[in-house]
Amino acid sequence: MSDISPITGSCLCGRITLKIDSLNRDVVACHCRQCRKQTGHFVAATRADNDQLTVEGAENINWYQASPEAERGFCQHCGSLLMWRAMNSTHTSIMAGCLDAPTGLKVDRHIYVDDKGDYYTIEPDVPTFAQSD
């Protein structure tokens, strides 16, 4: 996991910025149908406890409740998907692609690989799970 602190990030237009003081996991790649539909590929996300995440420009975030259990936060101006969180959770998943380099992160595992697209392969040296882990 990353030992870089803080890690920063933003949406494409810069109206939303993130500062993460500490992450609690490396990147999980999710290939479920919802993630593929939302992103056009798959989600790659790290995670932080909510008290370790500072969001500037939060008034520019739209939250889309993709299921009864979770919601996804994206910029209402540029459309960048930034976050995913379970309802009433103490932590938030943060899309790795919105983070500024260097992050020190690596892909830790792939989940919902039974739902993955048929146009790409997954590297063989990373653990995979048919559904969640």
- Judged against a pLDDT cut of 80, whether residue 133 lies above it is answered with no
pLDDT, position 3: 80
pLDDT digits (tens, 9 = 90+) for 40-76: 999 999 999 999 999 999 999 999 998 999 999 999 9
How distant, in Å, are the alpha carbons of 8, 65, 100, 106 from that of 2?
A: 13, 29, 13, 8
Q: In the structure, what pLDDT confidence band is assigned to residue 132 with cuts at 50, 70 and 90?
A: confident
> What would the mean pLDDT of 97-117 be, rounded to a whole number?
96
Q: Which CATH class name applies to 7-115?
A: mainly beta
Average pLDDT, integer, range 95-109: 97
Q: What is the DSSP letter of 51?
A: G
Tens of pLDDT, residues 22-45: 999 999 999 999 999 999 999 999
Average confidence (pLDDT) over 73-101: 97
Residue 113 has a pLDDT of 97
Percent of the chain with pLDDT strictly greater than 90: 94
Single pTM value for the model: 0.93
Between 3 and 95, where is the model more confident?
Answer: 95
Mean pLDDT of the chain, nearest integer = 96
Domain boundaries, the chain: 7-115
